[in-house]
Amino acid sequence: MGKVLIIGAGGVSNVVVKKCAMNSHVFSEILLASRTKSKCDAIKNQITDSKTIITTAAIDADNTGELIKLIKKFKPELVINVALPYQDLSIMDACLATNVHYLDTANYEPKDIPKFEYKWQWAYKERFKKAGLTAILGCGFDPGVTGVFSAYAMKHYFDEIHYIDILDANGGDHGYPFATNFNPEINIREITANGRYWENENWIETKPLEIKREYNFKEVGKKDAYLLYHEELESLAKNIKGIKRIRFFMTFSQKYITHLNVLQNVGMTSIKPININGVNIQPLHFLQKVLPDPASLGPLTKGKTNIGCIYQGIKDNKPVNYYLYNICDHQQCYREVGSQAISYTTGVPAMIGAKLLIEGKWKKPGVYNVEEFDPDPFMDELNKQGLPWNEDFSPVLVK
């Protein structure tokens, strides 16, 4: 039925490709293309029992001309971008030039400025609309499922949502003193940036990891959760009408924070190039090379993730509190697709977004964040595709 080009062959791509292959009635053909072709081949070779035809190619996704050539040759209906946020715009440009739909899991970030913002991708809205093409932005878990959860809460349980707290807990242990669960460079840029949340029509800025709350997560236990700026805050503050405050918290162990502090204090998280024997190197790039590859954490990680959103608002003038969350088991993910839960919880929603687009359920010309689509078919798919959700109408609130 659908032909897709998947770009990137890292931890998340491994899950997207395998989950697409498990839905071969929708994904008839996949071209998996990335910078290092051998990584594409390694993923392809693990898929032995699917009707989906999978081929691989090398591509530099920073190069729009190269992308256009590849797309014209393969003629996909959709490009799933699970490379890095730096490639978002070059891939969107190539999609426009070749009349192909687009989906990603992280918003554009310039390589030399650690700052992510939707303005660059939202600026493509009119061009996608005119071309009759759909671009789905941020279709992982957070962003992604957190936006779908918000649309679902709004549609079924609230007249107005006033407060949203997004809570991302990882109770997994991989045995390393320090490792990141997805691309180390992107992950560390996010965590070492200032915190930010939306309150009363304003962005409130905090120092990195300045605000901490303890929360008792179901099946994960008590964890310290730190307030971070996260990209879905920007779109939800715009798309959920009447919102008064929205915050994002992620859990980190004391061991992780101690390592991060040391790395920051010695300058290892900096993206400012330094010259070593005539070669300019970003310390963060070097650090990424010495840290464990997130894709290698799969067989080692034990424990569960619990990611969800607590909503407070009103329905028929009565106050309502509502918590929607997913619990995911690292080892179960590994048994199913050879990955830990962070890549799994990102890759499954990306496959679902692509499936709904190909089926025509999430097709509307323009550039959209996930909360701008009907959440119901996506929520059904989450239950069927390995990320079942739970709800709680009397949650403990975050102070």
Cα 73 to Cα 66, 70, 98, 106, 246, distances in angstroms: 11, 5, 10, 26, 44
- The residue within the footprint of ligand NDP, chosen from 23, 34, 98, 170 (CB under 6 A), is 34
Collapsing DSSP states into helix, strand and coil, what is residue 16?
helix
Cβ neighbour number for residue 268 with a 10 Å cutoff: 15
312 vs 321: CA distance, rounded Å: 5
Give the distance, in angstroms, between the CA of residue 306 and the centroid of all CA atoms in the same chain: 15
By C-beta, is 64 or 134 nearer to ligand NDP? 64
398 vs 164: CA distance, rounded Å: 10
The sign one gets for the Cα dihedral 51, 55, 56, 62 is: negative
Q: Does residue number 306 form part of the binding site for ligand NDP (CB under 6 A)?
A: no
Site string for ligand NDP, 62-101 (x = CB under 6 A): x-------------------xxxx-x--------------
- Stretch of 138-146, 156-164, 191-199, 263-271 lying at the interface with ligand NDP (CB under 6 A): 138-146
Q: Does residue number 36 form part of the binding site for ligand NDP (CB under 6 A)?
A: yes
Which residue in the block uniquely carries the two structure tokens 């009363």?
A: 200
Site string for ligand NDP, 169-208 (x = CB under 6 A): -------------xx--x----------------------
Q: Does residue number 141 form part of the binding site for ligand NDP (CB under 6 A)?
A: yes
Q: Does residue number 105 form part of the binding site for ligand NDP (CB under 6 A)?
A: yes
Q: Does residue number 39 form part of the binding site for ligand NDP (CB under 6 A)?
A: yes
260 vs 205: CA distance, rounded Å: 20
> At closest approach, how far in Å is the CB of 8 from ligand NDP?
3
Q: Does residue number 229 form part of the binding site for ligand NDP (CB under 6 A)?
A: no
43 touches 34 (CB < 8 A) = no
**Contacting positions for ligand NDP (CB under 6 A):** 8-13, 34-36, 39, 59-62, 82-85, 87, 105-106, 140-144, 182-183, 186, 294-295, 346
